[in-house]
Structure 1
Amino acid sequence: MANQQHGATPEYGFNDHPLGHADQYTQYTEYSHSYTTDAYNNYYYITANPDIPNTSQAPEMNSKGEYNYNHLQPSKDAVGNGVQVQTRLLDSAGLQNTAEIRLQDPLLAIAFFVGGILAAVGHHLYYKRLNDTPVTSEDLQVWSIRIGTGLALLTRCGLVAAIGIAAVQQTWLSLRKRAMSIGGIDSMFDIMGNPLSFLNRDFLTHAKRLAVLAAVAWLLPIITIVTPATLSVESRMTHDSVATKVPYYNFSNTDGWGTYGGFGYISGVAPEIARLFTRTYISNSPIPQTPPFANASYDFNFWAPSYKCSNASEIIRTRNNRTWDLASYNYTNFEEAFNAEIVKPVSTGNFSSGAPPLVYKSTAPTSMNNMILVGANGRNEQWGNTDHNYLVCQLYNTTYSVTMRFDNGVQSIQENSIAHVDSQEWDNERGRLSMVLANGLCAPDPAANNATICPTYYMVQYIFTRFLTGQVRINVEGELMFQSDGYEGNIVEAGEAPFFQSGLTDCPEIWNSTGYQSASGGSLAFQSLNRCQGGTLATAIESLSRNFTYSLLTYSNWRNFTTEVPITVSMPRNFFYYNSITLLATYSSAVVVTLLCICVGFAALLSNGYTSSTAFSAVLLTTRNPDLDRLSTDNTLGAKPLPHPIRDTKLRFGILRTEGSESQAGFGLDGTVTPLENMASRS
């Protein structure tokens, strides 16, 4: 290494420079010309001094090892004083015009792209985990949307960043291919941050691929709007099983059921039971109980009384034997009794003879075992003959299997199974005295062949007997009248009788008779459609008896009788709903378009032959051109708006061919630049 000085000694020695070795860092001297070279002549360190001649080239060494400073041009401050500068010259090994594709930007684009895909997959998996799960709180709902929006934003950032890197490479490729106005070049460099750049026609004409890449980058944020909205909240009915106590029956408890006379025999039913029955036959439906939940259902099994109404001919065929004492009821068999009580009164007489037939007749002989005999002369097309108009309704102990259902508090009963098990084989007298049999409890009665007698069952028979038994006839004035059974003087206009206030008179066996229609003014005068449940008089009576049994669940004196059952509670609950098709389709489209953009960028990178940049340093190094220096005179601020002469000037990036200087790459005026070949292929 050689050291030569003119004037003062250097402030620092070659090896004791505070920044390190002299072949890496600049060495400074003061007040004199100084130079330092290493053994390889790679670096020169020069202290500027006003004594140094004005030149514009690096120092040269003569054959004696001395430096010639005629080519140095020191800098001056604002008042013309010399200022200390340093100049670093590189040999050919350090030149930057050698092209090489650096993998940093391509790998970064791939990393952003993969990161965006991972965020999209995470978004899908997160929403999929939430799908069909209940929204347990408002915070959960809010944060689920926030997290989804955050993942969508990460996806958008990753994909847009990857497109941005690709757009940089395409920018320089477009600049190499053709000349473009400075305004158009401004739009190219500004397009990723300013959508108004799309309004530049020169840019759209000469940089179509870049415009497409930029348009995709600007449109991709749509995914941050669409994909978070694929998770929504919908209300569904849920069904949970809850063990809950519900009203139950206790037919062994007679509290508040009856009225009594003498030594305790049953003389009638108490007011509340009567009201329950009245409400039942008027509404033609059970009295609804208080729902355990607004929307619920449960299966219910129990024993209770009900009537089974059979065709009289069937009873005569199977049970024609006498079950009563001849001293109290002088008929030798059931057929004889039924014909005498029902068939003949209903079928005899005609209008021409002045004795019109009965429209309806029902009776309940006290000697028979809880039977109600019924006859009507109306024709029911369902049977095709009049034989089914004669009925025997027998009281039974019945097993019920039903499903109680409540929909928004409205009760409905689904009858799954109704089985008539034990006919109540005891007469009226034993029923009246049942309260003294076992202190009002259900108990076998030795006087009734040990048949189990419940006072409450007897009172059900009492209620239906008073309701059903009687006669419907036409009086001499042609009026429709109802006469209660056993009470000759108790005759009322038909509409005032409880029987006519029920749905039973809507059954064809009653209204579809000549006498009824002549008195009522036509077949539809009294009829209300769909109130004859089952379509026949037999099914309507059976349905009324079951409805009354269901109504007893609301009996106030039985409010303490309950049973625990599993209730299926239905209630609206909010659940997450994930529209995966929309999210996956949106992300898939974004990923495919981004991948195509990256491929365009990689193709531009390979065509350029080196990794480009839109950083300030790239602009600085590619605009070293005397023509551009003259163009920038009086416009060094770069402020907007750009003057029209500058904006419309066409530039191209390529090889500058300037007279008196070596060729170099950079921006030049149109006509002074030759195409820039693939730098990688040149190297």
Structure 2
Amino acid sequence: MVIPAGFGPSRVIEINNMRESHHTQSTRTVISDNSNVKLKKATTIALQDPLLAVALFIGSTLTALGHHLYYRSLNETSVDSEGQQVWAIRIGTGLAFLTRSGLAATLGIIAVQQSWATLRKRAMTIGGIDSMFGIMSNPWLFFNTDLLMHAKRLCALAAISWLLPLIAITTPATLSVYSHANQIESSLKVPFLNFSDTRGWATYEGWGSVSGVGPEISRLFTSVYTSNTFAPLTPPFPNASYDLEFWGPSYKCTSLEEFIEKNNTRTWSLSDFNYTSVEQAFYGQVGSWVSPDNSSLSGKEYVYTAVSATPLNNTLFIGASGFNTLWNSTSHNARLVCQLYNASYGITVGFDNGTPFIRENAVENLELQNWDGIRGVRALGFANNGTCAPDPESNNATVCLTYYVFHSVFRDFLAGSIFINSVGDIAYDDGDAVHSIGSTPLFHSGLMDCPEIRNSTTLFSGTGTDTSVLNTFNRCRNQTLASAIEDLSRNFTYSLMTYRNWEDVQTQVPVAITSPVNFFSYNERYLLAAYLTAVILTLVCITVGLAALMDNGFTGSTVFSAMLLTTRNPDLDRLAENNYLGEKPLPKVVGKTRLQFGIIGTRETMPHAGFGLEGTVRPLGDMLKTKPNNGD
């Protein structure tokens, strides 16, 4: 043997003597009766890990409670900004992850104590022991049969730990956002009507007499009768509404029978209109074909005729050969008298996502416009300068140039005759010439769908074989010709709020503005259910861990030093030969070797707690709690 410098024979002999002395002293400490072997040091339970587990559990519970209180404070409150909504979800998600992390860490500490308790009681394969120490971080280890058979409590702890992330998914989702219509009121200027304002309403000839209807009024009326509704208004906001009250023109249509029952007396001079009664004037102007007694419809086969003579004082006589069960009980021929009134309007103008609608709250006919066309054409335009004013020559009725033009528009639209001509075609006579039915404004409107016209057998006789030209699309508003004319007159009045020459005619009204507002909605039932489930299960696991800790008698650990100190065993050293890297996969021979944690040692070695081969390990029992004798 090579002796290092400075080491002489005497030094070598001294070292050998020390070794022998140490061996002799060690041997004395080995008790021949192995059943009474005592550890050098009694174990105690270190409180750091148990206290940490309790602190994590309490902190997680308080975090869950804070999550609940935070979401409840947001419930049914408005979302003021996108950033507020984003941060509410972020904070809720953060609190959920903190709760989950704290509970998972608590279960991790408990799992360590349960692992040592399991290894003390039974032998397990090294593969099973590997699964025990790795199950909290690797779910694949659940498939180890030795683990499932001999470490059921630990598997339950690990399963709960792996399911805890569900609370970080479900609980943030208990706060949602829903949209609710919120209404505010603001005073705004909106379009209005002023029938004393005659700008653009008429064309004039000498001495200020009205010669015709202004082009913009004609265009506006054309859009109304072709669209079968009022001209769309410009919304102040996409969803808004406001109430208006005003007066304006409106027609009232009644049956001839009802009209003459109330007033059959003439209101005109016989020199101007040679009829002695309203009934005589009606049949004289419209024609005898519309008489109830004339069922044969001899001569010209009429479908429709409307007349507005100047002496009739803003009145229209209308006859139609169709039949409408909603109108009367006669077999054919409708007879209508339509008169212009000054009406009071109470309406609500509303907008639904920009689409306008008008709701009639109260429309009442007030004054019959009982003045003739001469006053409208001559005296009004010159004497009153176009403004609405009482006219002494018309029994002080309020006469408006705009009302006269209004009646002129409807007279030009309705007056005329539809009949079957000599060649069997449908023709239209406006009083000046005969035209094709396709050129008449009435044919372009929804009035043609009214049963009083649509149901005329005469009308269908002029269509030849193609009766689809008269297919109805149910555009007759209110289902009768009388109601449809009244409805058209009101829609035209409403449309005058879009009249371009009246763009500066406005009024200040309260406008109810409805806009969608986002609100938080918190479903506390699901959040509390998720958190209570997690907290209760963790509390049960803490009880299991406490029992394992008390049963062990010491605070276990899975750190490297714990593995180092509990694997000091010659048997394990031989098992580790040629397998020193600890790489995967674990050799089958090593993995199937069964170990148990307990007292290991021989007569030549000091007994200590550690892992040993099955059959070579004695239970720890109460020896871990035995206090050492004085001098040990």
TM superposition score category, shorter chain reference: 0.7 to 0.9
Q: Does 1:440 align with 2:404?
A: no
Cα distance in 2 for partners of 1:619, 1:506 equals 96
Match of 2:361 in 1: 416
Higher relative contact order, chain-length normalized (CA < 8 Å, sep 6+): 2
Whether the 8 Å contact between 1:296 and 1:407 is mirrored in structure 2 is yes
Residue of structure 2 aligned with 1:209, choices 153, 157, 162: 153
Match of 2:167 in 1: 223
Whether the 8 Å contact between 1:55 and 1:71 is mirrored in structure 2 is no
457-466 or 374-383: bigger deviation: 374-383
Cα distance in 1 for partners of 2:241, 2:21 equals 100
Residue of structure 1 aligned with 2:18, choices 54, 69, 78: 54
Q: Does 1:116 align with 2:60?
A: yes
**Measured at CA, do residues 367 and 678 of structure 1 come closer, stay the same or move farther in structure 2, by a change above 3 Å?**
farther
Alignment of 1:23-102 (within 5 A): 54=18, 96-99=41-44
**Measured at CA, do residues 615 and 57 of structure 1 come closer, stay the same or move farther in structure 2, by a change above 3 Å?**
farther
Residue of structure 2 aligned with 1:255, choices 191, 194, 199: 199
User: Which consecutive residues of structure 1, in runs of 5 or more, have no partner in the other structure?
Assistant: 1-49, 59-68, 74-93
Match of 2:220 in 1: 276
Whether the 8 Å contact between 1:52 and 1:70 is mirrored in structure 2 is no
1:546-578 Cα shifts (integer Å, max 9, x gaps): 121122122111011112333344455655555
**Measured at CA, do residues 536 and 667 of structure 1 come closer, stay the same or move farther in structure 2, by a change above 3 Å?**
same
Give me the CA root mean square deviation. Answer: 3.5
The structural deviation recorded for 1:438 is 2.5
Match of 1:539 in 2: 483
335-344 or 285-294: bigger deviation: 335-344
Match of 2:402 in 1: 456
1:352-405 Cα shifts (integer Å, max 9, x gaps): 795145322222232233221212221112235238822111111222233333
Cα distance in 2 for partners of 1:523, 1:381 equals 22
Alignment identity in percent? 52
**Measured at CA, do residues 250 and 116 of structure 1 come closer, stay the same or move farther in structure 2, by a change above 3 Å?**
same
Cα distance in 1 for partners of 2:153, 2:20 equals 42
Alignment of 1:229-244 (within 5 A): 229-232=173-176, 239-244=183-188
Cα distance in 2 for partners of 1:452, 1:429 equals 15
Match of 1:292 in 2: 236
Match of 2:446 in 1: 503
271-280 or 363-372: bigger deviation: 363-372
1:60-117 Cα shifts (integer Å, max 9, x gaps): xxxxxxxxx99599xxxxxxxxxxxxxxxxxxxx9742555x6554443233223223
Q: Does 1:465 align with 2:440?
A: no
Q: What is the aligned residue count?
A: 601
1:175-201 Cα shifts (integer Å, max 9, x gaps): 111012333323322332344544544
Q: Does 1:154 align with 2:106?
A: no
Match of 1:43 in 2: none
Letter in 2 for 1:359: V
Letter in 1 for 2:136: M
Cα distance in 2 for partners of 1:509, 1:600 equals 90
Residue of structure 1 aligned with 2:461, choices 518, 531, 535: 518
The structural deviation recorded for 1:350 is 7.1
Match of 1:366 in 2: 310
Whether the 8 Å contact between 1:434 and 1:440 is mirrored in structure 2 is yes
Alignment of 1:452-601 (within 5 A): 452-484=398-430, 487=431, 489-521=432-464, 525-571=469-515, 576=520, 578=522, 580=524, 582-601=526-545
Letter in 2 for 1:508: P
The structural deviation recorded for 1:581 is 5.0
Cα distance in 2 for partners of 1:626, 1:680 equals 22
Letter in 2 for 1:514: T
Letter in 1 for 2:404: Y
The structural deviation recorded for 1:448 is 1.3
The structural deviation recorded for 1:615 is 4.0
**Measured at CA, do residues 641 and 541 of structure 1 come closer, stay the same or move farther in structure 2, by a change above 3 Å?**
closer
Letter in 2 for 1:404: V
Alignment of 1:364-403 (within 5 A): 364-386=308-330, 389-403=334-348
**Measured at CA, do residues 661 and 468 of structure 1 come closer, stay the same or move farther in structure 2, by a change above 3 Å?**
same
Cα distance in 1 for partners of 2:112, 2:41 equals 19
1:319-346 Cα shifts (integer Å, max 9, x gaps): 3333333443344443443344346342
SS of equivalent to 1:263:
helix
Cα distance in 1 for partners of 2:350, 2:295 equals 50
1:419-448 Cα shifts (integer Å, max 9, x gaps): 222222222222222122322111111111
Whether the 8 Å contact between 1:511 and 1:523 is mirrored in structure 2 is no
Whether the 8 Å contact between 1:656 and 1:666 is mirrored in structure 2 is yes
1:137-181 Cα shifts (integer Å, max 9, x gaps): 443343333222211210111110111122122111111110123
Cα distance in 2 for partners of 1:661, 1:668 equals 14
The structural deviation recorded for 1:672 is 2.3
Whether the 8 Å contact between 1:608 and 1:679 is mirrored in structure 2 is no
Match of 2:86 in 1: 142
The structural deviation recorded for 1:257 is 0.7
Letter in 1 for 2:410: F
Whether the 8 Å contact between 2:567 and 2:610 is mirrored in structure 1 is yes
Letter in 1 for 2:350: R
Letter in 2 for 1:392: V
Whether the 8 Å contact between 2:323 and 2:452 is mirrored in structure 1 is yes
Whether the 8 Å contact between 2:42 and 2:626 is mirrored in structure 1 is no
Whether the 8 Å contact between 1:230 and 1:579 is mirrored in structure 2 is yes
Q: Does 1:425 align with 2:389?
A: no
**Measured at CA, do residues 353 and 206 of structure 1 come closer, stay the same or move farther in structure 2, by a change above 3 Å?**
closer
Cα distance in 1 for partners of 2:467, 2:362 equals 35
Whether the 8 Å contact between 1:607 and 1:678 is mirrored in structure 2 is no
Cα distance in 2 for partners of 1:435, 1:677 equals 122
The structural deviation recorded for 1:509 is 0.8
1:574-619 Cα shifts (integer Å, max 9, x gaps): 5555555554444344334333333332332343344433345544
Cα distance in 1 for partners of 2:315, 2:297 equals 33
**Measured at CA, do residues 309 and 529 of structure 1 come closer, stay the same or move farther in structure 2, by a change above 3 Å?**
same
* Larger proportion of helix: 2
TM-score by length of 1: 0.78
SS of equivalent to 2:98:
helix
Work out which of the two has the higher radius of gyration on C-alpha atoms and give 1 or 2.
1
Q: Does 1:186 align with 2:150?
A: no
Cα distance in 2 for partners of 1:629, 1:265 equals 126
1:451-478 Cα shifts (integer Å, max 9, x gaps): 1111111110111112212222223333
1:279-300 Cα shifts (integer Å, max 9, x gaps): 2112222221333233433333
Whether the 8 Å contact between 1:655 and 1:666 is mirrored in structure 2 is yes
User: Which consecutive residues of structure 2, in runs of 5 or more, have no partner in the other structure?
Assistant: 1-13, 28-38, 628-632
Cα distance in 1 for partners of 2:548, 2:72 equals 39
Whether the 8 Å contact between 2:304 and 2:417 is mirrored in structure 1 is yes
1:292-316 Cα shifts (integer Å, max 9, x gaps): 2334333333221111112222222
The structural deviation recorded for 1:635 is 7.0
Whether the 8 Å contact between 2:334 and 2:452 is mirrored in structure 1 is yes
Cα distance in 2 for partners of 1:516, 1:639 equals 100
